Chain A
Amino acid sequence: MDISAVALIASLIVAATPILLAAIGELVVEKAGVLNLGVEGMMIIGAVVGFIAAVNTQSAFVGFVAGALAGGALSFLFAILTQYLLSNQVASGLALTLFGLGLAALLGHGYTGIKPPASPKMEFFGLSELPVLGPTVFHHDLMVYFSITLVAGVWAFLKFTRAGLVLRAVGENHDAAHALGYKVVRIRVAAILFGGACAGLGGAYLSLIRVPQWTEGMTAGAGWIALAIVVFASWKPWRIILGAYLFGGVTILQLNLQAIGVDIPVSYLSMAPYLVTIVVLVIMSADRARASLNAPASLGRIFHASN
């Protein structure tokens, strides 16, 4: 088997989409000044709940909706902890991940080895039949296009709408936003729920399309990579796509190298996505001044109105 560039690009897009969905959600959360490290937990809950719903209704669509709802529900726990009970965001995010991984394994007990209902691929009036462009651009499932639309939507929301401006302001300086009369906590809770739903959606994509089946711990760090991609993207929506597709590319390349039997043990090839994540983090963070200019200034800080 050799590596065809066209097949490679088509499959890297599929590999990148779960991370893309989770990362764009987390970007909005972080823009509001909240660091939710529970992406991994929300993703896997989305994966298992989406899978269960899809299998029982035989509808992938229902699966995706259920995955998003489950991710959102889990993130609501995080919102309660950090926004109302003023818990440390790092610890709460970790709790979310540990809890999510456990709960997912419990819920998914008995669902291993089942095939989920298929998600049809889009056909664009014959465009999908084009050579090269057809399979790479015009022949994916609906969620791929949805994820890109979502990025565009987030970009437009943050750049052009008043609500987007307010959200950025809250992330930049929550005390000032509070002094101007904006509801910091309410805005942040909304952002957290959006991030949870996106992560859940990403998880559902993983179990319904990317793999597609349910296995315990199947996210294998995808949520953490999504967090790294937000840093890589310097909190800019379009760069999330770049980052996610880059990681999709590394993953697919590594899998293909395994498949054609390159003379490197599988174990070392499997490290590649994680090592690349570290390298990318290092490169993007190295310029301290620029990194601190792009990061929301209130990121991770606890807000408590003094009166």
Chain B
Amino acid sequence: MIKLIPRNQPSKSMIALTPLIAVLLTMLVGGALFVALGKDPFAAIRMIFWDPLFGEHAFYYRGQILIKAAPLIIIALGLSFGFRAGIWNIGAEGQFIMGAICGGAVGLAAYPSDSWLLYPAMVLAGALGGMLWGLIPAFLKIRFNANEILVSLMLVYVAVNFLSGMVTGPLRNPDGFNFPESRAFQSFSAAHNPEIWAGTGIHIGVLVMLGLVVGCYVMLTRHIFGFNIRLAGQAPRAARFAGISPNRMIMICLGLSGALAGMAGLFEVTGPAGKLSTTFPLGYGFTAIIVAFLGRLHPVGIFLAGLLLAVTYVGGDIIQSQLSLPKASIQVFQGMLLFFLLAVDVLVMYRIQLLQRRVR
């Protein structure tokens, strides 16, 4: 019989080890899945985890990894604060979209401006748009006690529809033959987020992401704000005793995660995506949830987890083209990763004890 014994202190080694165990288990079970699909599991696993980094075309893929990692990490950093405090914003996808729309709209309105002020204004508008979208569930929770999980999620669908309304209406490219998409941001450089060094995948968003990782790390470990967040998550009543207002916490966490998601959306739409269109949402807002958990809600962990998930995205593209597997198979892979992580997480707070059955 197996028995769980609570630990007095969370195990430090397990905090670091469990994500690795989860990745290994995912490879194992994922491999079995590929066998079931009639594919060579070793080739598939290699294509997902190895080829993007060190394979034949790695010089191209490596850039792709950073491009995909930037939005994942930026969004996950924002989410991690709320998740720690027990405030569940799962509508980052919606805030990502709204950020892209708001920031993008500012740029499109200024077309064909070449002011260097334009891009900062767009970033600000993107962050603001995402923040306002995130503050809706915050306001409804504080004022009406409405569950933020459900509200923020519903707002994703509203945002998706709003996007399609925008690109078929006010933001449609006037020279675009009625296609449901906006003008390309490449068409005027003041609104464009280009690759800074060709082939590296590094754009402004990647640099911002690196800065945010450091900033969030300092906030979380050294600053009273990060301490309050941890306190509110671990012991809500103790947080109230300490004088932390739960309502303010909700506003800050949802506003902050919304702002970061919105900013990520703006970087994405002006850079890698290039324009607003109905195919713009790629699910980064949902995958970022996996990144946040896999990274243990810790900035450094999130950075590593974001890179890993970006690798699997690129790897997913490779198996899609080389093994003719559907795109969804990588989504299964990512979902499985979160599953296994949650499953082995128990080792952090509990010890496992094997009890021998006593003979009666």
Q: Do chains A and B touch in the complex (CB under 8 A)?
A: yes
Chain B 107-153 residues near chain A, CB threshold 8 A: 140, 144-147, 149-151, 153
Complexed CA–CA distance, A285 and B162 (Å)? 26
A199 contacts the other chain (CB 8 A): no
Complexed CA–CA distance, A104 and B329 (Å)? 10
Beta-carbon contact of B150 and A228 below 8 Å:
yes
Interchain CB contact (< 8 A) of B342 among A81, A216, A283: A81
Interchain CB contact (< 8 A) of A102 among B154, B161, B334: B334
Chain B 145-179 residues near chain A, CB threshold 8 A: 145-147, 149-151, 153-155, 157-158, 161-162, 164-165, 168-169
Chain B residues with Cβ below 8 Å from A91 are 293, 338, 342
Q: Which residue, A103, A227, A278, has most C-beta atoms of chain B within 10 A? A: A278
Beta-carbon contact of B144 and A81 below 8 Å:
no
A139 → B minimal CB distance (Å): 32
Chain B residues with Cβ below 8 Å from A225 are 154
**A81-B343, A285-B144, A286-B144 known, 13 other contacts, Cβ within 8 Å:** A85-B343, A95-B335, A98-B286, A98-B290, A98-B335, A102-B333, A103-B335, A105-B331, A109-B328, A265-B165, A267-B161, A304-B4, A304-B6
The answer to whether residues A105 and B326 also contact, given A267-B165, A277-B150, A286-B145 and a CB cut-off of 8 A, is yes
B-binding segment of A122-130, A152-160, A175-183, A268-276: A268-276
A118 contacts the other chain (CB 8 A): no
Beta-carbon contact of B328 and A106 below 8 Å:
yes
Beta-carbon contact of A265 and B342 below 8 Å:
no
Complexed CA–CA distance, A103 and B29 (Å)? 13
Beta-carbon contact of B154 and A86 below 8 Å:
no
Chain B residues with Cβ below 8 Å from A228 are 147, 150, 154
Beta-carbon contact of B149 and A37 below 8 Å:
yes
The answer to whether residues A77 and B146 also contact, given A265-B168, A281-B151, A304-B6 and a CB cut-off of 8 A, is no
Chain A residues with Cβ below 8 Å from B345 are 85, 87
0/1 string, A213-257, CB within 8 A of B gives 1:
000100011001101100100000000000000000000000000
Beta-carbon contact of B88 and A90 below 8 Å:
yes
26 interchain pairs (CB within 8 A)?
Answer: A80-B343, A85-B342, A90-B149, A94-B338, A98-B338, A99-B338, A100-B335, A102-B328, A103-B328, A104-B328, A106-B326, A106-B331, A216-B328, A221-B154, A224-B153, A267-B161, A267-B165, A268-B165, A271-B158, A274-B155, A274-B161, A275-B154, A278-B150, A281-B147, A281-B150, A304-B6
Interchain CB contact (< 8 A) of A267 among B155, B168, B290, B346: B168
Smallest CB-CB separation from A104: which chain B residue?
B328
Beta-carbon contact of B339 and A278 below 8 Å:
no
A282 contacts the other chain (CB 8 A): yes
Q: Which residue, A91, A109, A227, A304, has most C-beta atoms of chain B within 10 A? A: A91
Beta-carbon contact of A102 and B331 below 8 Å:
yes
Complexed CA–CA distance, A275 and B156 (Å)? 11
A288 contacts the other chain (CB 8 A): yes
A101 contacts the other chain (CB 8 A): yes
A17 contacts the other chain (CB 8 A): no
B289 contacts the other chain (CB 8 A): yes
Complexed CA–CA distance, A85 and B2 (Å)? 11
Beta-carbon contact of A278 and B140 below 8 Å:
yes
Chain B residues with Cβ below 8 Å from A278 are 140, 146, 150-151, 154-155
Chain A residues with Cβ below 8 Å from B88 are 90
Classify the interface of chain A: helix, strand, loop or mixed.
Answer: helix
A291 contacts the other chain (CB 8 A): yes
Complexed CA–CA distance, A95 and B157 (Å)? 19
Beta-carbon contact of B147 and A231 below 8 Å:
yes
Chain B residues with Cβ below 8 Å from A90 are 88, 149
Complexed CA–CA distance, A112 and B250 (Å)? 42
Beta-carbon contact of B334 and A98 below 8 Å:
yes
Chain B residues with Cβ below 8 Å from A98 are 286-287, 289-290, 331, 334-335, 338
B90 contacts the other chain (CB 8 A): yes
A160 → B minimal CB distance (Å): 30
Complexed CA–CA distance, A104 and B326 (Å)? 11
Complexed CA–CA distance, A98 and B90 (Å)? 12
B332 contacts the other chain (CB 8 A): yes
A92 contacts the other chain (CB 8 A): yes
Beta-carbon contact of B157 and A274 below 8 Å:
yes
B25 → A minimal CB distance (Å): 13
B302 → A minimal CB distance (Å): 15
Interchain CB contact (< 8 A) of B146 among A80, A265, A282: A282
Smallest CB-CB separation from A82: which chain B residue?
B342
Beta-carbon contact of B144 and A106 below 8 Å:
no
Chain A 118-153 residues near chain B, CB threshold 8 A: none
Chain B residues with Cβ below 8 Å from A80 are 343
Complexed CA–CA distance, A192 and B150 (Å)? 20
Complexed CA–CA distance, A168 and B2 (Å)? 28
Beta-carbon contact of B168 and A99 below 8 Å:
no
Interchain CB contact (< 8 A) of A87 among B140, B145, B343: B343
The answer to whether residues A281 and B157 also contact, given A81-B339, A87-B345, A95-B339 and a CB cut-off of 8 A, is no
Chain B residues with Cβ below 8 Å from A105 are 326-328, 331
Beta-carbon contact of B338 and A95 below 8 Å:
yes
Interchain CB contact (< 8 A) of B346 among A85, A100, A227, A282: A85
Chain A residues with Cβ below 8 Å from B280 are none
A9 → B minimal CB distance (Å): 25
Complexed CA–CA distance, A288 and B158 (Å)? 26
A88 contacts the other chain (CB 8 A): yes
The answer to whether residues A221 and B153 also contact, given A86-B346, A105-B328, A268-B165 and a CB cut-off of 8 A, is yes
0/1 string, B324-360, CB within 8 A of A gives 1:
0011111111111011001101100110000000000
Interchain CB contact (< 8 A) of B335 among A88, A102, A275: A102
Beta-carbon contact of B164 and A94 below 8 Å:
no
B350 → A minimal CB distance (Å): 7
Beta-carbon contact of A274 and B154 below 8 Å:
yes
Smallest CB-CB separation from A228: which chain B residue?
B150
Smallest CB-CB separation from B326: which chain A residue?
A109
